[in-house]
Amino acid sequence: MQGWALSTAQIAKDFSSVSGYVVMATGNEYIIDLDSAQGVAAGDLFSVVTKGGNIVHPVTKKIIGTLDTVSAVLKVTRIKSGYSYAVKVRGDGDLSAGTEINRFDSVNATFQDQTGNSEVLKAELMAALPRLQWQGDSKVADADLAFVATAAGVQVRDSSGQLLRSYQAGQTIAAPVPSTMNLTAAVPQVAVPQVAMAQQGPVTYQSRSQVGGFGTSALNMQFPRFVKVGQFDTTTVMSDFEKFNDQLYLASTDGSAIKVYRVGETIELAGQGDSITMGQILSVSWWQPQGDPALYLVVTVWGDDRVESDILRWDGQAFSAVKKGFNRFLAGFDADGNGTSELLIGQDFDREMFYASRFNAYSLNGDTLVRSELQFKLPKLFRVIGGLLSDVTGDGQPEAIFIRNRRLYVYAGENQLYKSSKEMGASLSGVTYDIDPSAQNPMITSASCAVAPVAADLDGDGKPEIVAISAEGTYLQAVGVSSSINKSWLSVLKYQDGMMMKGTLGDKLERPIQGLAVDNGKAIMVATDVAGILDGAAASYVLAVPVQ
């Protein structure tokens, strides 16, 4: 248990008490007078404690305490400079300005042992966090916090199942905290030493490779049976690849900022920026409109309790703003199979379903988005985030392929051809929100933004196969929240003789895969470490495995 000593100390720090006040109510949220300078993070819970009657010693008659109760619990949704927004997740009635709040004070907590041998850790946590109201295992449904011990570490989730923090032995991570940055110019390029790739068969894997030149131990990982093309020092919650002017670009986001890399035998940083709309970046998607010589990045953002999309023009070094705050999901698609994402599709946001069932195509006229009808039918369940269009059946028409609730679906028009088992498309990108902000009692739900599959002809028969990310997890994976991912791998699906055959490509990775492409005879993926988002030791790895 020595490895847990640092984590227990860090947990005690992360869940220490911080006092503040309610400043005002705004819509269904409250503004509180605390920010990141006091160590506050998105997802933190603040309790409102109502003092009850005195506790009087029967002999001395002295007052030794009060019978306090928690009358409300607030959850921080986003951080600003000097203040934060929070939503009430428990309690009745409105909170007035000046109401005192205390972080993680007297909130209900439970410990769930999925290893069967974490009794010592349980005792250490209870000793380190005495201000929590620890419940028995039977009180799981009543808990504001759940500390879950797994073979990989400890996860801390709130009552809705959203991941607040996760800890490995001697390390600590947290769920991404939305932040905003201004668009910036290109930064100096960072070249990664070349790694030669042996010419082997599609399921014969690479020997151990090494990329040097990085100073911290978190950026010195080895990946047997994969080629490590490069790595960078941020967590990737969503990424997208695109070939433009014979150069493969990778756009990656940690949920707040965007970095663009040139990908070849190595990677090099080409530039960076941010969304125009303030909020949490859910998705990035490249777009090359027909007849337009420019390359664009479409950024879908969760801000001010709704979905909005921005369009940025990429000049090879930096972004410039084209369109801000378009009120739909947007993503680019390669509908004709020529390797260029020329079609931009928009989808409505629905508070209950998250993804609505209305779709349109869009084109640019200056800085104006022009809407038109799609030339083909999409199924109502289709999702532009995590979706793919490709003619995998060879009938001359693109099939709609998408991830929904951890399953991969294939549709021809509005007819379902295939539904996978529930192991596809786990993602770190997601959001938790209140379905009806005007209702007296919050209706909290979570939604996930899956990494889209890709299509490529792996066996040379002239028909593309589907390559998609699969993953396994152990806790609340059906909720769609992130970081319950224990292992990830690439699945291949081939349509043949009216049936879908399924196989795997490469080996399993003990970390999430948050980006995928097939280029130049290689499947290229972005694997990421979620460890160290708070302590600066996060990392992402661009890995390759041959497919031809």
Q: Examine the fold and report which residue of 147, 168, 189 is the final residue of a domain before the chain moves on.
A: 168
Helix (H/G/I), strand (E/B), else coil: 335: coil
| C-alpha span between 44 and 81 (Å, rounded) | 16
Same-domain check for residues 146 and 233: no
Q: 160 and 234: one domain?
A: no
Structural domain for 526, as ranges: 227-546
Which helix (H) or strand (E) segment is 122 a member of?
helix 119-128
In a domain, 203, yes or no: no
318 and 416 part of one domain: yes
Residues composing the chain? 548
DSSP secondary structure code for residue 225 in this structure:
B
100 and 238 belong to one structural domain: no
Which phi-psi region, left, alpha or beta, contains residue 489 (left: φ > 0; alpha: ψ -120 to 50)? beta
* CA separation for the pair 74, 47 (Å, rounded): 6
CA distance linking residue 196 with residue 214, whole number of Å: 19
Buried b (16+ CB within 10 A) or exposed e, 43-78: bbbbbbbeeeeeeeeeeeeeeeeeeeebebbbbbbb
Say whether both 471 and 352 belong to one domain: yes
Same domain, residue pair 153 and 231: no
pLDDT at position 440 is: 73
Q: Mark which of 149, 168, 187 sits at the end of a domain.
A: 168
Which residue type is seen at 246? D
Contact at 8 Å (CB) between 238 and 427? yes
Give the CB-side neighbour count of residue 2, counting CA atoms within 13 A. Answer: 0
In a domain, 210, yes or no: no
What CATH code is carried by the domain that includes residue 408? 2.120.10
Same domain for 259 and 406? yes
In a domain, 497, yes or no: yes
> Could you tell me if 230 and 221 are in contact, meaning their C-beta atoms sit under 8 angstroms apart?
no
Same-domain pairing of 380 and 512: yes
CA–CA distances in Å: residue 429 to residues 60, 235, 426: 58, 11, 9
CA atoms within 13 A on the CB side of 23: 12
CA-to-CA distance for 126 and 384, rounded, in angstroms?
Answer: 44
Q: Are residues 412 and 525 in the same domain?
A: yes
pTM over 0.75: no
In this structure, is residue 32 part of a structural domain? yes
- Cβ proximity of 95 and 71 under 8 Å: no
CA distance 72 to 105: 11
239 is a domain residue: yes
Q: Collect contacts of 470-474 with beta carbons under 8 A, ≥24 apart.
A: 470/423, 470/424, 470/425, 470/426, 470/504, 471/423, 471/424, 471/425, 471/426, 471/512, 471/513, 472/423, 473/426, 474/114, 474/150
Instruction: Let me know if residue 197 belongs to a domain.
Output: no
Domain identity same for 153 and 259: no
Distance CA 548, CA 541 (A): 22
195 inside domain: no
pLDDT of residue 39: 87
Q: Count up the domains in the chain and report the number.
A: 2
pLDDT at residue 251 in the model:
98
Q: Are residues 437 and 529 in the same domain?
A: yes
Listed residue (524, 512, 541, 516) closest to 173, CA to CA: 512
- β-bridge mates for residue 154, sequence order: 149, 167
Question: Which of 125, 147, 168 lies at the terminal end of a domain, its last residue?
Answer: 168
Strand order in the sheet with 465-473: 454-456, 465-473, 485-496, 499-509
Asked, for residue 456, whether it belongs to a domain, the answer is yes
Residues 162 and 233 in one domain: no
Q: Which pLDDT value is given to residue 214?
A: 26
What letter would DSSP give residue 450?
Answer: P
Q: What local confidence, expressed as pLDDT, does residue 50 receive?
A: 84
Distance CA 203, CA 189 (A): 34
Task: Average pLDDT across each block of 10 residues of the chain; the chain has 548 residues. List them in order.
Answer: 56 91 91 91 89 80 78 90 90 91 92 82 90 72 80 76 67 37 35 35 29 30 73 93 97 94 96 91 96 96 92 94 96 96 97 95 93 95 97 95 94 93 86 83 86 94 94 48 69 90 88 94 90 56 89
Hey, is 453 helix, strand or coil?
coil
CATH of the domain at 154: 2.40.10.170
